[in-house]
Copies of this chain bind each other. A is one copy, B any other.
Amino acid sequence: MSGASGGPGFLAVDSGGSGLRAVVGTAERGPLARRTSAEPVRTGDRGIDPEHFMAQLVPLVRALTDETGPVRLTAAVVGATGLASLGDALRAELPDALARRFGVRRVALAADAVTAYVGALGPRPGAVIAGGTGLIAIGTDLTGWRRADGWGHLLGDCGGGAWIGRAGLEAALRAHDGREGGSARLLACAEEVFGPVAGLPGALYPRPDRPAVLASFAPQVAACADGDPVAADILRAAARHMAESAAAVCPSGGEPRLAATGGLFRMGDPLLVPLDEELAQRLPHARRVPAEGDPLHGSVRLAAELTAGPLTLPGDETLLCVTTTWGEGADHA
């Protein structure tokens, strides 16, 4: 396939806990090919490791351009989990590395919350709730960004998967102990999944992926919500926390759009029904819309825009940082 030649091309990347996803396309024709690497980029003393990132990315891009035929890559967008807090080395080194390796001149590094936003709403004012194991809300009025929560499973992520699963397990153990607030049904579910609850601390605390273990119980909480008032209350509280976060970031004027995106919302009505109610109460002026796409879609959208000129959405030192590299030093073929 050689039809990719011609107009300026782009590289769009989504880097997260399950690995890298990358797309090559052109401004004219959109995305042309997509590849995935299952190995997540390492995080070390310097935060997200730029060398490991490039080592993962180079073979992906080679495979992508083998598929598309020659593309003149002029812009790249990298959306990465943890970029805001762990992205210093990436911000410092990636633009140069991408320029040297692929000849890319314009690079945007975006927090995964930003690519989730753009994937869901595009370059329009509004607020997005991004929920998976964790939870963050992000909003913009097109002059700046606001974030709420996203502090991790011990400090916040209120209403996210780990939060819901943890609350469900606490309710199970309350039933086991004969404390108030227990749910015999969640206890039965917990024993089905994890075995006798006496072994639960030993199964959870030594694990490095404790938030994921907690989040793995969230679908059980949703499954119990029809008929179990304790489980239903947990999801109602989760919905309230999400709406609180959305309310903290949503533009107060105009008619902002409002979307929820991420794997958490696959649990459907038991969460979505109370969420709609809590959002309607706190943000009556916002227009609830379905998310248009995922974070990789957001990265593609930003990259296509970046080939043509400046981004519509506002830059931000840690959330969305565009770098233009000048000079002739590129060693790309």
Contacts and interface: CB of A to CB of B under 8 A. Distances in A.
Interface of A: 85-86, 146-149, 151-156, 158, 166, 169-170, 173-174, 177-181, 198, 200-202, 204-205, 210, 214, 244-245, 247-248
A2 B210 CA distance: 55
Contacts of A152: 201, 204-205
Given A151-B200, A177-B245, A180-B247, 5 more contacts: A147-B177, A152-B201, A152-B204, A156-B174, A158-B170
B177 A248 contact: yes
A248 B200 contact: no
B244 A198 contact: no
Contact of A205 (B154, B180, B248): B154
B173 A214 contact: no
A155 B245 contact: no
Contacts of A248: 177-179
Contacts of A147: 177
Contacts of A166: 154-155
Contacts of A180: 244, 247
A49 to B, nearest CB: 15
A110 to B, nearest CB: 18
Contacts of A149: 173, 177, 179
Contacts of A155: 166, 169-170, 173, 200-201, 204
B85 A201 contact: yes
Task: Pick the 10 closest A-B CB pairs, nearest first.
Answer: A148-B177, A178-B248, A179-B248, A180-B244, A179-B244, A152-B201, A177-B248, A151-B173, A148-B179, A156-B173
Contacts of A247: 179-180
A170 B148 contact: no
Contacts of A214: 154
Contacts of A179: 148-149, 244-245, 247-248
Contacts of A85: 198, 201-202
A121 B180 CA distance: 25
B245 A154 contact: no
A210 B48 CA distance: 22
A277 to B, nearest CB: 16
A180 B242 CA distance: 11
A36 B235 CA distance: 48
